């Protein structure tokens, strides 16, 4: 049987690797996994403990740019490759160059469905629930670059015949955020959590749910909207609430006397997504709540 194939850039990353695993374990897709080198893809397969590796085709970047769709039978592509927010500006600029080159290649190959992974950070620090029609207001080099990637995708594929495309703006992926990991480590090692601020809010999604959301979109009949928010719908927690959840989890793991103290200041951070549009169009719902996500991290640290 000839299977359909999806192409995933950034396949060696944390999210990319989880998407490869999701595709192999829960869909009929074969995967063309693209990274800087084939060895990085093989390392990812080992890290993610992916069985059925015969369904994964490792590609380096040059393999990708030298390929031909007639040979590869690509039915969809997910562009995940992007520098982390804490990397130098030059790395982030390189990510945009790679996105532009990738979109041109996918256009030339006439790939019929294309997904670009963006970030809730393009909305800036607005106190409103982030809806897709809220004006973008990026405030950092990273968030501006993510938004620029969205515009590159739109410029290349808007009106392109036979092509469906969409941008997914992800909520904070909990595994890539330092806060919860640091709070869990403090609770486990010292039994005390000391907070500064108090006016910050947070909203998280698990990386496994991100992978499930992407495959849910690929399975959907469409038509796709140009932009979707992906995260828990209308759900956010204050800094003290997050600390309380960590303390509760620690108690269930044998550390019942974790103390939480707060040094108040004027630091403000807003988060929170309206994911109604995506949930309605795909039927997807996150499978892990905040307690389950925190518990998984607590067990790791």
Domain limits of the chain? 5-171+206-232+276-282, 174-203+234-273+287-300
pLDDT at 2: 58
pLDDT at 231: 97
Q: Is the pLDDT of residue 70 over 90?
A: no
Residues 25-43 pLDDT 10s: 999 999 999 999 999 999 9
Q: At what angle do helices 207-219 and 14-26 cross, to 10 degrees?
A: 50
With respect to CATH, is domain 174-203+234-273+287-300 assigned 3.40.630.10?
no
pLDDT at 221: 86
Q: What superfamily in CATH does domain 5-171+206-232+276-282 come from?
A: NAD(P)-binding Rossmann-like Domain (3.40.50.720)
Token pair, residue 136, equals 């973008």
Share of the chain above pLDDT 90, in %: 93
270-290 average pLDDT score: 97
pLDDT at 68: 77
166-176 average pLDDT score: 97
Residues 200-256 pLDDT 10s: 999 999 999 999 999 999 999 879 999 999 999 999 999 999 999 999 999 999 988
For the entire predicted model, the pTM comes to 0.95
Q: Assign 176 a pLDDT band (cuts: 50, 70, 90).
A: very high
CA-wise closest residue to 3 among 75, 101, 111: 75
DSSP annotation of 250: H
pLDDT at 71: 76
pLDDT at 53: 83
Cα distance between the two ends of the chain? 44
As beta bridge partners, residue 233 has 273
Q: Is the pLDDT of residue 1 over 70?
A: no
pLDDT at 31: 97
């Amino acid at each position: 049987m000839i299977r359909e194939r999806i192409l995933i850039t950034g396949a060696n990353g944390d999210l990319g690797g989880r998407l490869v695993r999701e595709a192999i374990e829960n869909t009929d897709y074969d995967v063309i996994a693209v990274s800087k080198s084939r060895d990085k893809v093989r390392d990812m397969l080992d890290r993610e403990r992916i069985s059925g590796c015969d369904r994964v085709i490792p590609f380096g970047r040059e393999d990708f740019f030298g390929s031909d769709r007639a040979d590869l039978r690509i039915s969809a592509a997910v562009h995940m490759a992007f520098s982390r927010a804490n990397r130098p500006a030059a790395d982030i600029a390189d990510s945009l160059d790679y996105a532009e080159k990738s979109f041109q290649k996918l256009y030339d190959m006439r790939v019929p469905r294309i997904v670009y992974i963006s970030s809730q950070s393009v909305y800036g620090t607005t106190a409103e629930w982030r809806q897709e029609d809220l004006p973008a207001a990026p405030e950092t080099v990273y968030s501006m670059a993510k938004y620029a990637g969205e515009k590159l995708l739109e410029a290349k594929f808007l009106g392109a015949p036979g092509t469906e495309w969409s941008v997914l703006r992800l909520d904070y992926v909990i595994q890539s955020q330092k806060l919860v990991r640091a709070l869990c480590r403090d609770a486990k090692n010292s039994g005390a959590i000391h907070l500064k601020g108090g006016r910050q809010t947070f909203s998280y999604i698990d990386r496994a749910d991100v992978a499930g959301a992407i495959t849910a979109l690929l399975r959907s009949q469409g038509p796709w909207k140009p932009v979707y928010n992906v995260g828990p719908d209308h759900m956010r927690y204050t800094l003290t609430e997050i600390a309380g959840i960590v303390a509760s989890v620690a108690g269930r793991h044998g550390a019942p006397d974790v103390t939480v103290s707060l040094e108040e200041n004027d630091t403000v951070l807003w988060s929170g997504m309206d994911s109604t549009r995506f949930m309605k169009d795909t039927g997807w719902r996150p499978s892990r709540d905040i307690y389950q996500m925190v518990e998984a991290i607590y067990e790791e640290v």
